Structures are given as structure tokens and as C-alpha cells.
Structure 1
């Protein structure tokens, strides 16, 4: 794919199996009706059609129940629309002083879903939908997992706050900081928990706190979020919100052309993928049934996201005028937001293409885990 910065996305290496549950269109249609019942505005409803979250729920949780996958699809579209409405565009997206308390008030609904309405139609619509999802999680999930889901909303909020702060200050984070902040901004831990809810499983706490499990989960979070920096580059360029995009960060920090930054980003992703595959295999050698399910869920999270973004209307369709001074981008076109692009944004490579890349310093501890006896 080309943008006005002449960025082409190469094939991305992902040696994980893709599984797809049936019913993606039904889940998508139900999600839209659910959003409408909670009063989301027409702009958000139109953007919902471009998220393809029915498909994403089906690849993230191929073994999920009907109720569980619908809950996952609803949460996915809600999260993306909240991100669009408050984090990437609009007056709060450049004002931490208003964005941070607003987000804290919203996420409080995850712990206290019966909190009273505020009188702000947009806020109350999003809050009503979130409170409904929390009640459904509480009814469907193991109580400890339900509590983890509620608390993980705050981790997501911290990541989003970092993005708004960067935009407001006109600052660029380092690559080292990005690999720590970007997964939280993309709700990585919450996504993992929501897959567990959808499939009716829960990893015991004694396993969840193991360094190896924390590392493989962190790697999955990076592989969930950072590849979308590549696929969404044109979309975010159009919105004028590249402050949290790895391609932009690498190009600006290292003074290289954007295409070179794409290649460096791919090399980083391949290094993370190498660790993820290696550690996942190790955990599965003598793993319990719950560990096998959990590592499968992480793999579905990663492979499903790589597939979802390849044909995502959200990344190729102009739905709004540019924000934050962003210019019109010829790579984006007005179109039916529910129609998938005819051509993939990138291919899936069967083999690693950038050997020899290293991990940023905050992730270097992973290799120590691989040096330990299995």
C-alpha cells in the first residue's frame, strides 16, 4: 500500500495458525443494533461498520460460546469507537486536562456500572454500553476474571492518556517507551481477558504471575498492537494523530525515510515474534490444559489481528474530515465503510525476512528466561 509518504507494507511474518468461527456477519449486525439501543451517535454508528469487529471476535475466540463471542464483538466495537470519539479526534484528544478525568470517570463504570448518568449524551451513551458489558461479564465469567477485566480498563486508560499527552505536548516518545506504552494504549491485557471470558476459561493466578507467562503475554500484547501501527499509518496520517505510531516515531527519531522506518519496525516485530513462538512452545511442552488453552488464545489474538487488519475498511476509508491539521491522503478513499478492500494491505510471510534484529532494552530480560532450563 502507498501513502503520500510512499510507504509500502511488505509481507509480515506470522507463523501461527488462523482459525475462524462462523457467524461473523451476525455478530457484527447485533453489535450495531446494541450500540444503537445505547444511544451512540450516527457518526459512531457509521464508523462501526468499518471496524469489522464481528470477524475479529470470530478469529480471536474461535472456541467461544455464542453469548461470549457476541460480548467480545460488542466490546471490540465499543473500544474502537471510544478511541475514535475521544482519543484520536475531538477537543479532548489534545487536552490531557479534560481527557484524563473524563476517561477516569468512564472507566469507573467498569467497577461501578450503576453510576448515575451525567447529562452528557455522548458520554452517557458510551457509559451505558460499558455498564451493560460489565454486567454481562459478571454473569458469564469466573469472578476473579471478571474483576481482572474491570481493573484492566484502567491500564488501557493509562496508555490512552500517554497518547493524548504526547499529542498535546508535541512530543515523540522513544521506541523503548513505545513498546511499553503502545500495548496498554491498545488494551492488550483487557483483550486477553475478554477472550478468556468469551471461551469460558481462566488461567489460574499461580500460572499468570510466572515470569515466562508474563513475558509471553507481553510479547502477544506488542504483536497485537504494534503491527497495526503499520497498517493504520495512512488512517492515522489522515486523522493527524501519528504521535503513537511506530513508523512515525522511528522515522523522526532516527532521521530516516518513512519506508526505512517500516523495515525497521518489521525487524522489531519479527524479533518479538521469534520470542513469542519460542516461549509459547516451551510453555506447552509440559503445560496444563489451562496453559494450553491460554497459549492458544494468545496465538489467536496475534494471528487474528494480523488477518483482520489486512482487509479492514477502517484503514482504507475516509469517514471524516482530517483532524489536528492532517491532510487529505490519496491512499484513503470515500467508500462504503462496511465493504472490505479488494486487495490486502499486506501479505503474510511464511518465513522471517529480517534476521538479526535485537530487542529494545526494556524487553531484553526475555532472553534470560529462554536461557533457563525448561
Structure 2
């Protein structure tokens, strides 16, 4: 298949706030990866991630050390995704990938685990261990532990993607709404924003059904919109099995452009709920919950903005086992626009998220 898509303006009426110094955070993250022995290909790809900007938009009020840790983790996560999940000899081999993922994520719980002798694995493991040590100095112990555990939720999502690729299976859209946020480390991303800000939402509020629904909606809005600008890249990498456009096209016998419009309508439905639940929660929220709803808002809005000019989505990295093609390509124009006006909503609320609306006040 060789079909391009046109992304219509995405509805996102949330306020964008960006801390100054994105380029500085980005350069420090790259130097940090280099100090831990990251290979040259990964270091060159790091220039396409713009994690300094993403960290500054996710945590505009964060501390210097916290935002740096967030930028470092984001760069680490995207390069790990490139090296193991989207390319290389394990990206379609669950038998080997699952073991690597489990061993890697164990470093989040046990940073002092000894090296293996595999230079690539040890570079990722060393940098992850260093990051977790820093998180323990920055965050409440309970939050640091949540960060460690959330790496396993992320690993489960990546395992699903590799499994799909191994058999060329295309999941349903309903399953994608459950799997894609895990594959995009949505829960861990939220925890890392708390680390950057030096805050923590305690369990009695985090466990409320309304907060769960808000977090699930934010996770979808964090991850599924990136399927749109990454479509061409994933098509080039032959990894469309877990892309919402491809999934809707196959499931509903649509052209890829029709599927793109349907995906945008679904995102508007999720955004509509996110805004309604955020408004409801803020009516009688504690200061900690108010801050948390702001953090979820920053995560969603920052991601929508970050992906519009992201070199990662306009650079055709090599297929598994082949070299990258060309230099990092920065988009000359935005990959899509942002609109403050809602244009269309999904006709039906998908099964995995129908329970959200039961929590909204009349």
C-alpha cells in the first residue's frame, strides 16, 4: 500500500503553555544519552525527537531538574521505541522481544542490575538506571515507585504491537483504544509530569472513577492523535498494524482518507468528554487535583502541538535491518493545524469507553 493522507485541522481548544529553554533541555538530553554509550544511529535519530519542547509544554511550571528528567526520559523512550519496537531483529519476534522488554523494564525497579555485555542493551539499561536514581531524589517515594511499576504497563503495550506485527494481524479499533495508550506509555507519562512538577496526587483521589476516566481519555488523546502524522513513517517501516487510520480502513472497508476523517471524529468525541470531565472535577477539587487536571491538560495540548512540526514524523528511517535514509527532515509546514472549533463527533461511543459518560453529572 502506498497512499498518503491529508490530516484535517484537529480540534483542541486547550491552552498551550511552554516553558522557555526547550533547546537547552534538548541538548542536555542528547549529551546524557551519549554519556551512557548510545550508538551513533540512535544519537542521530535523537535530533528528530524534540523532547526538550515536549517536556517544556508538558511541565511549563516544572523545576529545572524535573523538566530535565522528563526530557531525558522522553528521548530515552522514543529511541527505545525506534531501536527495539519499530525496527531491528526483534521488532516482529515476540519470542525474543518480550524477554528483552521484561529485562529492560526490570532496570526501573532494580537500577543496580549488572551489565549484560550487549552494548546496545547496556546503554539503554544504564541510562534508565541513572534516570530512576534521579527520580528517587526528585519525587515522593510513592510516586517514584509508581514510575517504576508503570514501565511494565508500557512493556505490555509494546508486546502487543510486536505480536501484531509478527502475524500481520490488525487489531480492532476497540482494542486499539485499550492497547495504544499502553504502547505509548500514557500512565508513565502522567507520572513523569508529576515528577517534573514536584507534585503527587495521592491514592484516595487518583483511584476515583472520575479521575480514572479523565486519565484514560488523556491517554487516548496523548497517543492516538500521533497515529495521524506518523502514518507515512509507519507505512515506510511496514508497521501499520497498530495505526488507527489503517485499523479503521480495514475494519470498515474505507479508503485511508475516509478512515482519517473517521479517526478525527473519534478524537473529537474523546476530547469532548475530556473537557466535560475536567470541568466537572474542578468544581470542588482539592489543590492537588486541580494541579493534576492541569497536568493532564498540558500533556494533551503539548502533544498536539509537538507532533505538528516533529522531524521524527517527516524522516523516513530505515526498515528493519536497513540503514536510515537521508538526513533529519524538519517539516517546512505544519503536518496539521489546530482548530478551536469542533467540526464532527464520532457517531457511536466505542464499547471500551462508554462507561465514561455515566460519570458525568446531569
- Report if TM-score (shorter chain) is over 0.5: yes
Q: State the Cα distance separating 1:355 from its structure 2 match.
A: 3.3
Q: 1:321 aligns with which of 315, 318, 323?
A: 318
Aligned: 1:367 with 2:346: no
Q: 2:197 aligns with which of 164, 186, 199?
A: 199
CA distance in 2, matches of 1:356, 1:74: 36
Residue 96 of structure 1 is matched in structure 2 by: 94
Figure out how many residues of one structure are paired with residues of the other and give that number: 361
CA contact (8 A) 1:27 1:54 kept: yes
CA distance in 1, matches of 2:345, 2:154: 32
Residue 339 of structure 2 is matched in structure 1 by: 349
Unaligned runs of 5+ in 1: none
Alignment of 1:68-87 (within 5 A): 68-87=66-85
What secondary structure, in the 3-state scheme, does the structure 2 residue paired with 1:91 have? coil
Residue 48 of structure 1 is matched in structure 2 by: 46
Q: State the Cα distance separating 1:255 from its structure 2 match.
A: 1.1
Alignment of 1:119-198 (within 5 A): 119-198=117-196
CA distance in 1, matches of 2:165, 2:100: 17
Aligned: 1:232 with 2:230: yes
CA distance in 1, matches of 2:346, 2:171: 24
Residues 93 and 356 of structure 1, relative CA distance in 2, 3 Å threshold? closer
Instruction: Give the TM-score normalised by structure 2.
Output: 0.97
CA contact (8 A) 2:89 2:321 kept: no
What secondary structure, in the 3-state scheme, does the structure 1 residue paired with 2:192 have? helix
CA distance in 1, matches of 2:7, 2:67: 31
Residues 324 and 236 of structure 1, relative CA distance in 2, 3 Å threshold? farther
CA distance in 2, matches of 1:293, 1:165: 37
What secondary structure, in the 3-state scheme, does the structure 1 residue paired with 2:81 have? helix
CA distance in 1, matches of 2:240, 2:124: 25
Q: State the Cα distance separating 1:324 from its structure 2 match.
A: 8.4
Residue 22 of structure 1 is matched in structure 2 by: 20
CA contact (8 A) 2:262 2:346 kept: no
Say what the alpha-carbon RMSD is for the aligned residues: 1.5
CA contact (8 A) 1:238 1:323 kept: no
Residue 63 of structure 2 is matched in structure 1 by: 65
Q: State the Cα distance separating 1:359 from its structure 2 match.
A: 1.9
Residue 109 of structure 2 is matched in structure 1 by: 111
What secondary structure, in the 3-state scheme, does the structure 2 residue paired with 1:224 have? helix
CA contact (8 A) 2:90 2:96 kept: yes
CA distance in 1, matches of 2:199, 2:347: 35
CA contact (8 A) 1:183 1:226 kept: yes
Alignment of 1:237-256 (within 5 A): 237-256=235-254
CA distance in 1, matches of 2:202, 2:35: 36
Residue 302 of structure 2 is matched in structure 1 by: 304
CA contact (8 A) 1:167 1:241 kept: yes
Cα deviation code 1:217-256 (max 9, x no counterpart): 0000000000000010011111111111000111111111
CA distance in 1, matches of 2:2, 2:165: 22
Residues 202 and 352 of structure 1, relative CA distance in 2, 3 Å threshold? same
Cα deviation code 1:312-337 (max 9, x no counterpart): 0000123x333489xx9xxxx84445
Q: State the Cα distance separating 1:204 from its structure 2 match.
A: 1.2
